[in-house]
Amino acid sequence: MKCLIAAQYAGVAEQIEFVNVQMGVDNRTPEFLAKFPLGKVPALETPEGPIFESDAILRYITGLNTSKNLFGATGYQQAVTQQWLDFVANELEPFVLMLLLPHFNITTFNEAVYTKAKEGVFKAFAILETHLKTNTFLNGNLTVADFAFVTVAKFLYTHILNSVVQAEYPSVKRYFLTVANQPWVAKVMGAVAVTVDEKAAPGQKVVKPKVVVAPKVVEEKKKNPLDLLPPATVRLDDVKRSFFSERPFNPNFFPGFWETFDFEGYSFWTLEYMYPEDWDHDYVADNLVSGFISRCEATRKYSFGVLSVRGEEGKFSGSGVIIFRGKDIIDEMKDVTDYDEYKFAPLDVSTAEGKKIFESNFCDNVVNGEEVKFRRWLK
C-alpha cells in the first residue's frame, strides 16, 4: 500500500499498471516464480527487469519523479528516511501483524502473544511520541517513511487503540491523522474511522479501561508572579471578547482599544518563525503553526496574539504579534517546546508605525506585501 501512495504522491500512478494477484494461485505459477522467486507481493515488473521487496519497489517508484524528494534530497536525509523505514518494518510492523492475524481468523487468539504485541507497539509509540512532539513528519518533510507508518498504523487506530491509549500518544495521533487525511493517501487507504473502544478478535474478551481518579489533595497553590503585578486597568479576556464580538472580528475594535488600553500593565511584541524554508506545503505550515499555538495553552491567561502564514509554496513566511502581561516575554511562553524556533522583538505601539504593524497583523489580508494564507489565534 505504501508503494501505491508513493506513486500517487509522485504523480506517476498512470505510468504503472496495477494487477491484482490471486494469492496461492497466481503467485505460485512457474512464470511468476521465475521473476519473483519468493512468491510474494508487492512485486514490480519494469522494462529493465523484475523487482521484489517493497522498499526496493519504493526506491524505483520515487525515482520516476525525483523532484518530490520522497527519500530526501541529501545523502544524510536519505539515510534518515531509510532509518525510519527500518524502524516501522522492524519495531512496529511485526507486532501489528501479531494483532491483526487473529482478527481475520488467520491465527487463533492467544492472550500472551496479544499482550506481547501490544507491549511492542507501545514501546515503538513511546519513541515516536518523543520524536513527533517537535517534528511534523518523521524526517523533516513528507517522505516514504511517513507512507510506511500510516499504512501500518491504520489497523491500530481502527481496531486496537482505544481512546485512553490514543490520549497517551497525542503527537503520534496528530501525525497519523495529518498523513492519513492527505488526498493522495485517502485515495489509496480510504477514509479512516478512528475507533473509541478496542475491537475484540474472535476469542478475545475486551475489558474497557477504567479511569481511576486519585483522591484530591488540597495544596496551597503558588501564585504566578504575573498575578502579583500591580492590578491592570484592562483585562485581556475583555479585550478578546471585544475583538471577537463580531465574526471574523470587530471592524471597529482598534480605535477604542488604543484609547483605553493599559500600556503600563502589558507589553507588545512581534514574533517571526525562523525556518520557513521547512514549509514546502501549506498544510505543513498549518500543522506547525497550529501545533505551536496548541502548546501555548499555559500562556493564554497572560497573552493575546496572532500568527499568520503568507506567500506561496516554496516561499512561505510566518510571523505575528502578541501582547504579554508585564514588560517581558512571560516564562510560560519560554517553556513552550518550540519557543526557540521563533524570534521575538519588542514592538513600540506608542508610534503610528507600531500601531499600524499591530493592526495589520490582526486584520489585513496582505501583511508585509504578502497575501495571508491563514491566521491562527492565541486567545
Q: Are residues 241 and 177 in the same domain?
A: no
**226 domain residue, yes or no:** no
Q: Is the pLDDT confidence value at 280 over 80? A: no
Q: Is the pLDDT confidence value at 215 over 80? A: no
Name the average pLDDT for the chain: 89
Q: Is the pLDDT confidence value at 352 over 90? A: yes
Q: Is the pLDDT confidence value at 284 over 90? A: no
What's the per-residue H, E or C state across the chain?
CHHHHHHHHHCCHHHCCCCCCCCCCHHHCHHHHHHCCCCCCCEEEECCEEEECHHHHHHHHHHCCHHHCCCCCCHHHHHHHHHHHHHHHHHHHHHHHHHHHHHCCCCCCCHHHHHHHHHHHHHHHHHHHHHHCCCCCCECECCHHHHHHHHHHHHHHHHHCCHHHHHHCHHHHHHHHHHHCCHHHHHHHCCCCCCCCCCCCCCCCCCCCCCCCCCCCCCCCCCCHHHHCCCCCCCHHHHHHHHCCCCCCCCCHHHHHHHHCCCCCEEEEEEEECCHHHCCCHHHHHHHHHHHHHCCHHHHHHEEEEEEEECCCCCCEEEEEEEEECCCCCHHHHCCCCHHHEEEEECCCCCHHHHHHHHHHHHCCEECCEEEEEEEEEC
Q: Are residues 246 and 374 in the same domain?
A: yes
Amino acid 76: pLDDT: 94
**Which range scores top for mean pLDDT: 133-137, 218-222, 289-293, 302-306?**
302-306
**237 domain residue, yes or no:** yes
**213 domain residue, yes or no:** no
Q: Is the pLDDT confidence value at 213 over 70? A: no
Q: What is the CATH number of the domain that holds 178?
A: 1.20.1050.10
Least confident of 16-20, 129-133, 175-179, 264-268: 16-20
Amino acid 211: pLDDT: 55
**92 domain residue, yes or no:** yes
Question: Binning pLDDT at 50, 70 and 90, where does residue 223 land?
Answer: confident
**276 domain residue, yes or no:** yes
Q: What is the CATH number of the domain that holds 33?
A: 3.40.30.10
The tens digit of pLDDT for each residue in 21-63 reads: 888 888 889 998 998 899 888 888 888 999 988 888 888 888 8
Between 260 and 215, the more confident residue is 260
Amino acid 8: pLDDT: 87
**13 domain residue, yes or no:** yes
Q: Is the pLDDT confidence value at 268 over 90? A: yes
Q: Are residues 63 and 107 in the same domain?
A: no
Q: End of a domain among 68, 100, 123?
A: 68
Domain count along the chain: 3
Q: Are residues 148 and 268 in the same domain?
A: no
Q: Are residues 256 and 347 in the same domain?
A: yes
Q: End of a domain among 160, 189, 218?
A: 189
Least confident of 197-206, 240-249, 274-283, 303-312: 274-283
Domain interval for residue 261: 233-378
**64 domain residue, yes or no:** yes
Q: Is the pLDDT confidence value at 288 over 90? A: no
Q: What is the CATH number of the domain that holds 301?
A: 3.30.70.1010
Question: Binning pLDDT at 50, 70 and 90, where does residue 350 land?
Answer: very high
Amino acid 219: pLDDT: 64
Q: Are residues 238 and 370 in the same domain?
A: yes
Amino acid 149: pLDDT: 95
The tens digit of pLDDT for each residue in 122-175 reads: 999 999 999 998 888 999 888 999 999 999 999 999 999 998 899 999 999 999
**327 domain residue, yes or no:** yes
Question: Binning pLDDT at 50, 70 and 90, where does residue 209 land?
Answer: low
Q: Average of pLDDT values for 342-351?
A: 95
